[in-house]
Structure 1
C-alpha cells in the first residue's frame, strides 16, 4: 500500500485540508493499514469476505479489500451504513463512553435493558427503526402513541423489549422487567428472591453495604442491631426505634415491626438482606459464612 493510495482517501484529505485546525496524527493516518491488515488476516485464516461498519469506516475497510486483492489474490467486500448518532450529536459507540456490549458479561442484561429504556424520545424514535424488526406501520403507530402520552415512554419500553429479547432472550427480558419494578414499582420479597446475584447487585449498584457473620442471624438478628448497632445504616439505636415505630422500615420490600428478627429464610441468594427506610433509602446486609 503506497502513501499515495493512503493520501487519496477522502477521510484523510479532509483532515489534511487547510481548514482543518487539528490536523491528523500519524497514528490516525496509519490506522487504515492496521484495520486493512486485520481484514486480510481474517480473509486468509477464516475465509471472511465481508466487513461491515459505520460510514466513517469506509476508507479503512476498503484498504482491507485492496490488501486482499493485492496480497490475498481474492475479493473482499465492504458494507457500511449511515453513522448512528445520539440526540446530542455524539457517536453511538464504545469510544464515546457510556457504551453497552452485547456480551452479558460486559453489560448485564439488566443494564442493557435499562440503557434502551432510558433513551431520549428523539433517540428512541430513531433506534426503534434501526435496531428492531418491527414493521413500518407498527413503528408509526408507536410514534403516534408516544406523541399523545410521552410520559408513558411507550417507544422506549417497546424498544427495550424488542432488542433485549433479540440479543438475550424473552426470559432474560422478563427478569429485567421484574428487576426494574423492584426499584421503580411495587414488588414483593419473592420478586427479590427470584433475582440472580448478578442482577440483584446491578439493581442496587452503589447502595451502601455492611458485612455481618452468619452466626449473627442463626438465632435471629434484632432490628435495632440490623439498622444501627451492627451496621450503621441509621445513626443511632434511638433513630432506629423511631423509624420502626413509624412503620418506615422494610426488610426485602416487606414492612416489618420492631420485634422482627432477621433469619436465614430472609437471605437473598443465600447471602444478602435488603433493608429499606421510606421509599428510596436502601442498605444491604452481606452475610458472610
Structure 2
C-alpha cells in the first residue's frame, strides 16, 4: 500500500513550500517523488519541499549536532526539481512556524530556536514581521562572473556571495531592465558554477537610502526551481552586494522588495565576524493528504 503523507502548504513572501513531519526519519523519498510533489500541474505545487526530521535521525544532522547540540530539528530541504539544497531563508522561517504550530518546538518572546541545515546551524527568533533568522557569516565567494539573461542585451558583471548557499548578484540600470528580463530561462553564468547558483537581479529604489535604511528591488532565478516570487538568502545576498558596491557609509539595514512582498535584511558584528539576518512573514495556506 502506498503511504499517505499529511502535509502543510506554506510560504514566505510568495516563496512557497510543502512541509511534512517525519521526526524519526523513516520516510525516504526519491528526488523524482519530491519533484512530483512540487509539480504545479500534477502535484501540490511549490518552490521546495521541507521534511521536519530530528537531527539525530539523519546522516546530515550529525554535523548540525556537532556544531550545536541544541539543534534538535533539521530542515531537510529540497528544491522543486528534487535536488537537495544547503539552505533557504524563506523556508527556514516557515519551517520554524511549522515546528511551533505543530507542538514540535517552543519559541517564546526573546527565545531562540536552533535549527540544523545542510548549510550549518541557524538561529531563528520571532519578531513583529514574523520570524527572523540569523544566516550566519557571509563571504564574497565566486568572484565577478559574467551573467547573460534572456532579453538583456549584453552580459553583465555579477558579484559572487555565499550566505550558506551560492549567489551571483547583478545590478541593472532601471526598473524597465528588471521587468524585461525573462527569467523563465536559466541565466548563463561564466565561469560556470559546477553545482549551480542562484542569480539575483537588483535595482536601487530612488532614493536608495531613506531614513537610514537601504532600499532595493529584486528578481531571482533559483537553481533547481526557476524564477520564484521571493528568495530569502537571495535578498540577503542582494543587500550585501548593493552595500558592497555603494561603499563606505552604506547602511547595514535594508528593505528588499521582491514580487511576493518585502523582506528585511540586517548586517551586524559578532565575535566570529559579520553576520546577516533575514526577517519577514511566514504564512500557511492549507493542509492536505497526498498518496505517495
State the TM-score bracket (shorter-chain normalisation): under 0.3
Larger RCO, structures 1/2 (Cα 8 Å, 6+ apart): 2
TM-score by length of 1: 0.27
What's the TM-score once normalised by structure 2's chain length?
0.26
